A and B are shown apart, each in its own frame.
Chain A
Amino acid sequence: MNMAPPNLTSAATAQAPEAVAPPAAHADTIQKFLATELAKQRRERIANRAMAISFGLFVLLVWAIATEGGFVHALIIPSPFDTVEATIRLMRSNILWPNVWVTLQEIFWAFLLGLGSGCLLGVGVAMFAGVRATLYPYLVAIQAPPKIVLAPIFVTWFGFDMASKIAIGVVMSFFPMFLNTLTGLTSVDPNAIKLMKSLTAGRWKTFRYLLLPNALPIMMAGVKLCWTLAVLGVIVGEFVGASAGIGYLIYAMNFQLDIAGVFSLIILLSLFTLFVYQFIEWLEGRIIFWKQL
């Protein structure tokens, strides 16, 4: 999330070469204006954060009152205190970490392979007419069924271990990466193509200096989708048939009516996914810095 307000300081301090030093009186007014403007921005930032935090606390409060006050049965929604307790219990037990480790590996490979294959095929289809003619219809067609239907088959094919979960994660995360790469590489100003052509740039130089950087913003949006779907695919796979992993654990605990445990796992998983998502967004800001100018 990029909530940072436009950076006034850098715009004001970066010296335009033709800018002459303003007369002293003006410099004073500008200084004062800048100071009040910055203070205003800071106040706004704090106010925004305060509102968001208050809302979160409010939801928490409603949750606590509804559960502790006996309005909702603990088997349907556990209280926040029970959930925290369950989290601590889980973290101290020896069942959480081995399962976390399994799921982490699955997610890592699913994301990496989904990302890699999506990029590669996107580049292939965008850059080579032969690849496009051969593969594009099929790549789109395999998108038609909801890919979750493949989960049981993949478990049959690849077994109860990590491979089947990775396969499902890849199949789910691959397509947005592929499509965004393809769209990014093909949405380019025709005059820019003409310019590169006029400079006698071949396919590789056009790709390297124009198409790829031009595609990065759309590709980064694809990376974020790819990440979310890789996690989804892996967890779904663990639901369908697994002997280890967070999804498996959630399933098992739900079966044992350990709803507080399920809640804490869901929250842990969400926090992890969100954390990586934020990291990708941070990376995105670095990679496509020019969008923030």
Chain B
Amino acid sequence: MPTGLIEGSSLSKVYATATGPLVALSEVSFQVEEGEFISLVGPSGCGKSTLLSILGGLENQTEGVLLLSDKEHDGPRREIGMMFQTSVLFPWRTVRQNVELPGIILGLDRRQQAEEAERLLDMVGLNGFGDRYPAELSGGMRQRVALARLLAHDPKVLLMDEPFGALDEFTRETMNLELLRIWEKTGKTVVFVTHNIGEAVFLSDRIFVMTPRPGRLEGIVEVDLPRPRKAEIMRDPRYSELVFDIRGMLGVDH
């Protein structure tokens, strides 16, 4: 039986809270192949961030087994990078220094990391902004810096928790296109959390649909839209069909 790059079986997560145990994840099983683009959708509180934290090794599951490249995975690793809804840039570091942070923490070669930072800033369209401070950038630009920082130490797996959730619709679409371009070029494995079903369909190979109370994996939707994808794909009837299927699974349409 072929196994994926990431494999979770019956993952559960229970938090001990003041009001008793809280089941955030319940018996979630899945596989993620190398190079796949996966989206996690579901209503607020269904455990998306929790699952992502477990995938990142920041937290451990209460029950179940999680494998990365067939080996047990229970702590942070260099080959996994994380990005969040807020840019989490350090305001005392310039844009360039922010992108160089992962290299510094991981003790990578300084000169090579400096070149890499320059190349990445170029790639996310921030050529020439290296010496600015985060406070001088717009929200969209900050997320671009965060994207460059995410890629700085060349992780194989990108875990993104609503990375464009705080951006306006127009910027978000631009960022989606850029992310796809980068993903197609680099062949990274992506797990992408979003509230936006359209965004998930547009980006993903497969969509994990989750439902709350307790957080379960309701189903997995294959997105059989052709690649490479451009914005026009949203006119494709298949696109709307998938969006509506998922809305149905989430119980949005009554």
Residues on A lying within 8 angstroms of B by beta carbon are 16-18, 189, 191-192, 194-201, 205, 209-210, 213-214, 216, 288-290, 293
Judged by a CB distance under 8 angstroms, whether B182 is at the interface is: no
CB distance from A253 to the nearest CB of B (A): 48
B-chain residues with CB within 8 Å of residue A17 when the two chains form the complex: 127-129
Given the interface pairs A191-B84, A192-B88, A205-B105, the reply to whether A200 lies near B129 with Cβ below 8 Å is: no
Asked if B106 and A200 sit within 8 Å, CB to CB, the answer is: yes
Residues of A within 8 A of B78 (CB): 199-200
Residues of the A chain whose Cβ atoms lie less than 8 Å from the Cβ of B82 = 194-195, 198
Contact between B76 and A197, CB atoms less than 8 A apart: yes
A to B contact number (C-beta, < 8 Å): 65
Provide the main secondary structure of the chain A interface: helix
Across-interface contacts of A289 in B (CB, < 8 A): 92
What is the distance, in angstroms, from B123's C-beta to the closest C-beta of chain A? Answer: 15
The interface size of chain B toward A, counting residues with CB under 8 Å, comes to 30
A194–B105 touching, CB < 8 Å: no
Find out whether the CB atom of A213 lies under 8 angstroms from the CB atom of B90: yes
Per-residue contact bits, chain B 44-87, to A (CB 8 Å; 1 contact, 0 not): 00000000010011100000000000000000111011101110
Q: How far is the CA of A289 from the CA of B92 in the complex (A)?
A: 8
Question: Can you sample 24 A-B contacts with CB below 8 Å?
Answer: A17-B127, A18-B128, A189-B86, A189-B88, A191-B84, A192-B90, A194-B53, A194-B82, A195-B84, A198-B76, A198-B81, A199-B76, A199-B102, A200-B77, A200-B105, A201-B105, A213-B90, A216-B92, A290-B91, A290-B92, A290-B133, A290-B135, A293-B91, A293-B133
- A289 vs B134: C-alpha distance in the bound complex, in angstroms? 13
Q: Give CA–CA (A289, B91) in the complex, Å.
A: 10
Nearest B-chain residue to A199, judged by Cβ = B105
Of listed A17, A189, A197, residue having the most chain B CB within 10 A: A197
Question: Does B136 reach chain A (CB closer than 8 Å)?
Answer: yes
Q: CB of B145 within 8 A of chain A?
A: no
A195 touches which of B57, B88, B106 (Cβ 8 Å): B88
B166 within 8 A of A: no
Within 8 Å of chain A (Cβ to Cβ): is B104?
yes
Interfacial chain A residues near B58, Cβ < 8 Å = 194, 197-198
CA A210 to CA B88, docked complex, whole Å: 11
Chain A, residue nearest B94 (CB)? A290
Residue numbers in A under 8 Å from B105 (CB-CB) = 196, 199-201, 205, 209
Distance of A199 Cα from B92 Cα, bound (Å) = 19
Query: Residues 111-132 of chain B: 1 if any A CB is under 8 Å from the residue's CB, otherwise 0?
Result: 0000000000000000111000
Q: What residues on B are CB-neighbors of A288 within 8 Å?
A: 92
Looking at A16, A192, A210, A290, the one whose CB has the most chain B CB atoms below 10 A away is A290
Closest CB-CB distance, B174 to chain A, in whole Å?
15
